[in-house]
Structure 1
Amino acid sequence: MSKLPLETIEEILSYIDEDDITTFHSLSFINRTWCNLCIPHLWKKPFNIKNNNNNSKNLYKIITIILSFLDEEQKSVLKLNEKKTGIFSTKKLLYNYPSYIRQLDFNKLFLLITEWIIKNKKYRTKFKENYFIKNSDKFTFDFSIFKEDEEDYELNFSYNRIIERCCLKDQEKLAFFEYIFKIIIARSKGIRKLFVDIYHENEEIAYTIPKDYFKYIFELKDFGKCFSGLNEFSCKGNFHKTWLINGIKKYSHDIRKLTIYPWNRNYINDLRVKDLKGLLKAQKNLKSLSFSVDSEVEKKVIECMQGNISKTLESFNMKYGDLTDNELKYLSKCKKLKKLYFDTVYFDESINILGKIIYPDLDELIFFNCNFSNSFIDLLKEFIKNNGHNLKNFQLSQNIIDINNINNNNLDINDILSTLLVSCSNLSNFYVNIDNQSDIILFFKILRQFKHSLKSINVGNYNNGIPKFNFNYDFMLEFIEIFMSMSNIINLDLSNWEISFNSFKIFIENCCHSKILLKVFKVSCVGGSKEDLESLIESNAKLNSRSLDNILIIENDEIKNITIVWH
């Protein structure tokens, strides 16, 4: 292997999942050549090791390596000169590790800094209470705002409590972050993905960020150079975003994927319309836009979609808020859209242009937990007729609002199912609440028509473990007959249906063998004990030489909510 050409080794490495740190780490020990080629992969996104990875428990040691690149004065300011912290001399470092960083996650970086400080507490000299205030001239951020007699500054706060002061521990984390961030932007050859997703709901606050902290941080010398090639930017959570948005807007004009979630609408307007409009207008080739609304920008986000966006946007994801004809007029100009995703959105009664909008390349249409009346169905039916020829992923998971009866939770989806049958030719993912007997016949027709293209089926999620529809034995026999003819199904979620133990047994025996690709199956079963169900699943897997990854059975009175995952 040591004599393989560099191009061949690079080709081999390109087939490894970029999150598979264990494999890259093992290959780096083959010899120096392999090590030289693996190090850039290991450091591409060093703060993104998954929690289930064995290396995640030592992830904080990455901070040690980055701190080693500080100059002696900076190390002294942070009291890092003690040998027991493991800080290296810059001359002893074999690689310019920060130069390989392409992905940065502020939340994870702050958490790792917090962990590093805790792990090395006994090896470092304690700071005096006003240490960072007195040494404010050593930083870009102005720590002098934390003087005891100074109350005129605003901090971010959590859902549970307001942070009244930024204590010494918080100041220490801010100091570490600034120096580490400075090293990364000075040495990295360009950050491609930036995630600033900071939430503190229902958990202890690990760190506190002053309102204008990002204003100072983004004025650092190398910021523009480092973020000029940013491709993906996610900005979500409970912190002030104005300075962050404006900093990115100034230098990053080639973002392809953008996610903006303002602070919880019940607290504060942390994002101004002009900031968002400027950020969107600056983008030359934006492909994906996801946003959540707050009270100020609720009616204006879609109106901000001007300039090149209407010519380049391919994916649109909206969470919360309401949609009217006015917003749809702007959205209708984005003719390259391939994905429309609405999450907990209220569709205004006055919408009437939906049925006239055409997206030639639309292949994904999702309504998750949305609010609309039965009158909306006619408009949606027309929309599917005009845009269903390329549709592969369709989801209609709804909250129902009826004008005449606010408690009416029955949505007539027969017309939607009929329209899908006529207008679509290649459905691969189908998620619709099938909880009425009148819908079963059309649902079975959909299964037959798309038996070779469907990969995922979901008939709706149960409410608090209680399925909505009793799927009787005769229905189950017909369903099994159809299912056995389906060639590509991987994910089947029938948890919204209640079936008997006998029906479950017949399905497992006929539809869970090695000739069927099914990997995930969910259903709600009545009858049979938990032990009986587990025994049936395990014996069938053994009989058909199938490996089980997981069996989860949650008992809810007589109902067992079952999830089976095969390897």
Structure 2
Amino acid sequence: MSKLNRDIIFFILKELQNDNKSLHSCLLVNRTWCETTAPILWKDPITRYDLTDNACNILFNKMLLHLSEESRNNLKNQGIDLFVETCQQPIFNYISFWKHLDLFFLEHHINHIMEFFKVKSKKKKSIVKNEVLELFINNDKKYISLSIPKYFNTHLFSGAEHCFSKLEYFYCDKYVDDNILKELSMLSTSIKKLELNVRYGSFGGIIELIGAQKNLNQVNLTYDNEDYISNDTFEYCQKPLEESLIKHADTIQYLRMDWEPITNLLSYLINLVSLDLGYLTHLRSMPYNWYHLKNASLPLLKFLKANYIPSKILASIIENTKGYLIEISIHHNNLDDNHFIQAIYQNCPNLSYLNLALSNNSYKEFQNLLINCKFLNKLEIISISYSKIDWIILFEILANFSPISLFKFKFTSTYFYWEYRQRDLKLFLCHWKDRHSMLLQIASKGSCMYITANNPTQQQCQAKRRKLKDLLQRYKDKGIIKKYDIIQADI
């Protein structure tokens, strides 16, 4: 096996590219295997491994070893010595293998090493930063992804046209200079996935970057709620941004927007496979926005996620699909739960995952959903504070009408419910004994583990939590539960 030619070795390694342990073993076979494996492991070392801070520091220090003798002398002449001892040169030029440039990572660790060596001068920090970045940004490199932090220095792109000519992924912070985006739009036209943290103001750079792309497939537009903006200003800023996406209607398949569209954008995106819509809480709802959503036809949609969009509008979106929806995750305001749930089971025969907040007047339609969605595999139910669920009724419906395929559950309720109403859960588990062993998550909003005062209430709650764990463990021992978790709700 060690004598295989490089083409065969590369084919084998391609099959193992997500198996770090096996790839590390391949490094040790012989020089040929090592030379073929190293570029795969170093293609994206930051995201390939779950790195601790210490591991990141070690990785960054290894990067510094790639500085040329000229660069080291330049730093020393400025009174900067980043090498406390003589280190062996790397076996490979590892930086040449990098295909994913994360400038957040570089900025963070440049600042960290400046603190470690007590370099306080802004001029010296700038010198070090430029030397390190020149290792990564030059015309000997060609990246497929780029992430840029805020306030990044624009001149570092000069002379690096080749470096970013084949980008497929780009992310930037909301404070990135417009000039960077405009310059990048001239360097790269091959971006497929675009993630932007946007804010109100001029979108000239973003719009130019979007317009320059030839095969834009995935767009994630996030927006911070703390950036307060009036309705009129919001519409003035966001409208041209949405209109720029319409020009890519034939290629965009995945869209996330942290606000409800103010144009008829969705009516054009007929090839959309995934839609994730948010809602800006500081903006009042504008009626014509809902009209745009209500009349959108998304025949190929498979994944739908929405927050605080009226259920009547969501029902219309689902009714305008063609039966391909397999995942739905909804946090809405329960204006018309029954119509919404009807839309799901009448139009989503292949549904495998459902996450929704139920109200206490929709049990009958929920039962119909379980009967009709025969491929449902995972169910997450949230009991919201203004419309609490009767869990006893719900658990009875689940025990009697769940499809055979359903065995993954996450139940979220209000403060300490599970600690004080364990009987409800016990009845559900008892009735599940002849079914597929379940994967169960129990979540609470306001868990007792977050009560810090040393008082009887805390002690009582902790005792209830222990009993809850004991209950779940007993049913795990019986084989009814395969795995369980008790977690703090993230809503």
Common fold, TM-score beyond 0.5? yes
Match of residue 413 from structure 2: 496
CA contact 2:10–2:36 (8 Å) conserved in 1: yes
- CA-based RMSD of the aligned residues comes to 3.3
Q: CA shift at 1:522, angstroms? A: 2.3
- Seen in structure 2, the aligned counterparts of structure 1 residues 511 and 33 have a Cα distance that, compared at 3 Å, is farther
Match of residue 248 from structure 1: 184
CA contact 2:253–2:271 (8 Å) conserved in 1: yes
Offset from partner CA, 1:376-429 (integer Å, 9 cap, x none): 71x54333222142122223312x4xxxxxxxxx52221111122222221122
Q: CA shift at 1:22, angstroms? A: 5.4
Is 1:505 paired with 2:423?
Answer: no
* Distance in 2 between residues matched to 1:255 and 1:274, nearest whole Å: 18
* Distance in 2 between residues matched to 1:543 and 1:289, nearest whole Å: 46
* Distance in 1 between residues matched to 2:316 and 2:482, nearest whole Å: 45
1:247 aligns to what SS in structure 2?
Answer: helix
* Distance in 1 between residues matched to 2:428 and 2:340, nearest whole Å: 28
* Distance in 2 between residues matched to 1:517 and 1:15, nearest whole Å: 32
Match of residue 135 from structure 1: none
Match of residue 54 from structure 2: 57
Is 1:298 paired with 2:238?
Answer: yes
Is 1:95 paired with 2:15?
Answer: no
- Seen in structure 2, the aligned counterparts of structure 1 residues 419 and 240 have a Cα distance that, compared at 3 Å, is closer
Among 357, 360, 364, the residue aligned to 1:433 = 357
Match of residue 378 from structure 2: 456
- Seen in structure 2, the aligned counterparts of structure 1 residues 33 and 423 have a Cα distance that, compared at 3 Å, is same
* Distance in 2 between residues matched to 1:506 and 1:258, nearest whole Å: 48
Is 1:487 paired with 2:405?
Answer: yes
CA contact 2:196–2:221 (8 Å) conserved in 1: yes
* Distance in 2 between residues matched to 1:173 and 1:29, nearest whole Å: 39
CA contact 2:267–2:292 (8 Å) conserved in 1: no
* Distance in 2 between residues matched to 1:384 and 1:415, nearest whole Å: 11
* Distance in 2 between residues matched to 1:176 and 1:471, nearest whole Å: 62
Among 426, 439, 442, the residue aligned to 1:519 = 439
2:45 aligns to what SS in structure 1?
Answer: coil
* Distance in 1 between residues matched to 2:470 and 2:92, nearest whole Å: 54
Match of residue 208 from structure 2: 278
Offset from partner CA, 1:344-383 (integer Å, 9 cap, x none): 256521343544332221112221234x4xxx71x54333
Offset from partner CA, 1:291-333 (integer Å, 9 cap, x none): 13575633321022253x122111121113x533xx11x3312
Is 1:536 paired with 2:454?
Answer: no
- Seen in structure 2, the aligned counterparts of structure 1 residues 113 and 86 have a Cα distance that, compared at 3 Å, is farther
* Distance in 2 between residues matched to 1:516 and 1:174, nearest whole Å: 60
Offset from partner CA, 1:69-109 (integer Å, 9 cap, x none): 33323212223667535555xxx442121111011111111
Is 1:77 paired with 2:80?
Answer: no
Residue identity matched to 1:311:
D
- Seen in structure 2, the aligned counterparts of structure 1 residues 273 and 503 have a Cα distance that, compared at 3 Å, is same
1:360 aligns to what SS in structure 2?
Answer: coil
Offset from partner CA, 1:19-76 (integer Å, 9 cap, x none): x65553444234323322221122111233554x46x523223333333333323212
CA contact 1:530–1:553 (8 Å) conserved in 2: no
* Distance in 2 between residues matched to 1:454 and 1:305, nearest whole Å: 33
- Seen in structure 2, the aligned counterparts of structure 1 residues 30 and 503 have a Cα distance that, compared at 3 Å, is farther
Q: Which has the higher helix share?
A: 2
- Seen in structure 2, the aligned counterparts of structure 1 residues 535 and 7 have a Cα distance that, compared at 3 Å, is farther
Pairs within 5 Å for 1:31-70: 31-48=30-47, 50-51=49-50, 53=51, 57-70=54-67
- Seen in structure 2, the aligned counterparts of structure 1 residues 14 and 471 have a Cα distance that, compared at 3 Å, is farther
CA contact 1:98–1:187 (8 Å) conserved in 2: no
CA contact 2:17–2:23 (8 Å) conserved in 1: no
- Seen in structure 2, the aligned counterparts of structure 1 residues 542 and 12 have a Cα distance that, compared at 3 Å, is farther
* Distance in 2 between residues matched to 1:314 and 1:430, nearest whole Å: 21
* Distance in 1 between residues matched to 2:481 and 2:323, nearest whole Å: 37
* Distance in 1 between residues matched to 2:165 and 2:68, nearest whole Å: 26
Residue identity matched to 1:387:
T
TM-score by length of 2: 0.81
Pairs within 5 Å for 1:106-505: 106-119=103-116, 121=117, 168=121, 170-186=122-138, 189-197=141-149, 209=151, 213-219=152-158, 221=159, 223-237=160-174, 239-263=175-199, 269=201, 272-292=202-222, 295=234, 297-307=237-247, 309-320=248-259, 322-324=260-262, 327-328=263-264, 330-345=265-280, 347-350=285-288, 351-370=290-309, 372=310, 377=312, 379-398=313-332, 400=333, 411-436=335-360, 438-451=361-374, 453-460=375-382, 462=384, 468-483=387-402, 485-490=403-408, 492-496=409-413, 500-505=421-426
1:312 aligns to what SS in structure 2?
Answer: coil
CA contact 2:252–2:272 (8 Å) conserved in 1: yes
% same residue = 20
* Distance in 2 between residues matched to 1:337 and 1:448, nearest whole Å: 28
TM-score by length of 1: 0.71
Residue identity matched to 2:34:
C
- Seen in structure 2, the aligned counterparts of structure 1 residues 177 and 29 have a Cα distance that, compared at 3 Å, is farther
